[in-house]
Structure 1
Amino acid sequence: METIPEIFLIRIGLALGMLAIGGFFDIWKREVHDYLWIVFGVAGAILLIFEPNQTDIIYSTLFALIIAPISILIWRMGLFGGADAFALIALAVIAPQITISGNIVTPFTTLSNAAVLFIVPLLVNALRNTISKIRGENIFEGFDETLPRKILASFLGYRAKNPKYCFSIEKNEGSVKKIAFSFHHADNEEFSEKPNTWVTPGIPYLLLIIGGFLIQLGYGDIILIGMGMGP
């Protein structure tokens, strides 16, 4: 059995430690200080000094940093927050395309795996709304909507009695309510505090990134392997 190099394990440990701390603060305060990414990113860069094959790891790191402009662009578009962008960039320095699976990975694997995991909260919303309907709750009371839009809303959100860290997806049109399928900027939009309203959860995307990285470590790239591009 091939021995895993110690420096390899250190990189994995640094990456997991950084993500664990970031995930904790993202859940607790919905805010992660930039110092976290800077400190761990610098630690990852320092590890280059101790690499036995410095040329190879420098090449791998520079290649992995292709994710940097993509992450910043997605952040500026509001699809996720600045902490998520910086986490991906720091990961590229600390653990460039690292996996213990032997399967294919790319600079975009953590991000693409996280995107696949985004289906999980959609299924949770659908299950929550299905349970509410089984209980006899009129979750669309006061709404004038078509069945397809109600089905879509049931995947995107739910009716919350006391919403927390959620964005409103309903609006009033005269005497009736409508579902508002609008874009919610991750950094700029305020969370809804209105009781008994339809909302979509403001999911900490960093948690999906953590999941995406763990899948990268143990399995590889979900999309590429699903397309038959694995070994």
Structure 2
Amino acid sequence: MNATLPDLLRLVVVPVFGWVAWRDVRTRRVPNRTWLPLAVFGVLLLAWDAWLVWTDGLVVDPRIIAPTPALFVFQVAFSLGLLVPLAYAFWWMGGFGGADAKALIVLAILFPTYPTYLLADMALPAIRPSLGVFALTILSNAVLVGLAYPVALAVRNALRGHVAKAMVIGRPIPAEQTLEEYGRLLETPEGFTRRGLDLDALRMYLTWRGLSLASLRADPESYRDPASIPGEPNDPGDGSIPPDGVGPFGDTDESTPQSDGGELADPWGADAFFDDIDHSAYGTTPAELREGLDVLAESDTVWITPGIPFLVPMFGGLVVSLLVGDVLLWVLDLVGIAPLS
């Protein structure tokens, strides 16, 4: 493989992004310490690129199209000036998780310009716009990769006979298996919703109460009464699934729940839960918690959205971009909107 040394070093991030995507699927947690070294690495490579551009050192092979200093400055300014604030805005509005935003910022620093990798008589990426910002190509390809997921999910549900409004974004599971999954409920007592109870928040609530889901489902009316909450609730934790798959959601309170069947001021003790914990539960509200518990108490099967982290299509977009280039540009060329030169 022939390429500039900075571009060769950039390939190191591919297995790193593969690892964080895998970890995000398995645990929904990516250590914060992952991103700063990658950002510093990107800044160093960017400084190296700048020196090569100004000294004409980028052309290690006649087939490598080196940017002019003006184009290099434009690509770097566009990548950092647009994608970094965009990542922050998506996170602030709730469209991105913290890891997703940090990953996009890292990509904006690492890949403002198109790399070139020469293999025999082939140059990769194959499809590149003349003013291309590579980080923007990665983002657009990530969106296209992400669009394939709901299609595959809908086909899977249809083949299994699960035809419902939620079939494009979710799948049905037995209610008792809810604690073994990441994602959100897609149901309330009134029907379909895109923003149901976060399953991490559910695990936090049950841990806080020292209550198993099986016990709650066996006697929902008693546990709906906030008087059944232990006098000294447990630390709720962060709602993650333990590595061994065995949850801490067992019955630790030895008191007998009581309910007089009257109107409850705080059903399920949802307000008491949020008043007691010293941080949020993934944006969950008391109303969402109550609605989710009502569904789990009464239903044998529930619809959940797996909520595939955006890091997964982002990793796919990175790989596709390095091999193919700008897929959206190719699609626009096929339909005659933006012909390739």
Q: Would you say same fold, with TM above 0.5?
A: yes
Contact 2:72 2:113 in 1 (8 A): no
Contact 1:48 1:57 in 2 (8 A): no
d(CA) in 1 for partners of 2:160 and 2:39? 45
1:181 aligns with 2:194: yes
Count of matched residue positions in the alignment of Structure 1 and Structure 2: 210
Mark the CA change 1:184 to 1:204 in structure 2 (over 3 Å): closer, same or farther.
Answer: farther
Give the TM-score of the pair, scaled to structure 1: 0.78
Give 1:112's aligned amino acid: S
1:101 aligns with 2:114: no
Q: Secondary structure at the match of 2:20?
A: helix
Give 2:104's aligned amino acid: L
Q: Secondary structure at the match of 1:199?
A: strand
Contact 2:187 2:196 in 1 (8 A): no
Stretches of structure 1 that go unaligned for 5 or more consecutive residues are 134-138, 141-149
Give 2:149's aligned amino acid: P
Contact 1:18 1:37 in 2 (8 A): no
Contact 1:169 1:200 in 2 (8 A): yes
5 Å matches for 1:37-116?
37-51=35-49, 52-53=52-53, 59-65=74-80, 66-99=82-115, 100-103=124-127, 104=129, 105-106=132-133, 107-116=135-144
Q: Secondary structure at the match of 1:156?
A: coil
Q: Offset at 1:29?
A: 2.1
Q: Secondary structure at the match of 2:160?
A: helix
Q: Offset at 1:57?
A: 5.1
Amino-acid identity (%): 26
Q: Offset at 1:166?
A: 1.9
d(CA) in 2 for partners of 1:184 and 1:96? 38
Stretches of structure 2 that go unaligned for 5 or more consecutive residues are 55-68, 116-123, 199-280
Equivalence for 1:203 = 308
RMSD after superposition: 3.0
d(CA) in 1 for partners of 2:185 and 2:38? 35
Instruction: Give runs of ≥4 in structure 1 deviating > 4 Å.
Output: 54-59, 189-195
d(CA) in 2 for partners of 1:184 and 1:80? 18
Equivalence for 2:118 = none
215-224 or 95-104, which moves further after superposition? 95-104
Equivalence for 1:145 = none
Equivalence for 1:223 = 328
Equivalence for 2:234 = none
Q: Offset at 1:70?
A: 0.9
Equivalence for 2:31 = 33
Give the TM-score of the pair, scaled to structure 2: 0.54
192-201 or 18-27, which moves further after superposition? 192-201
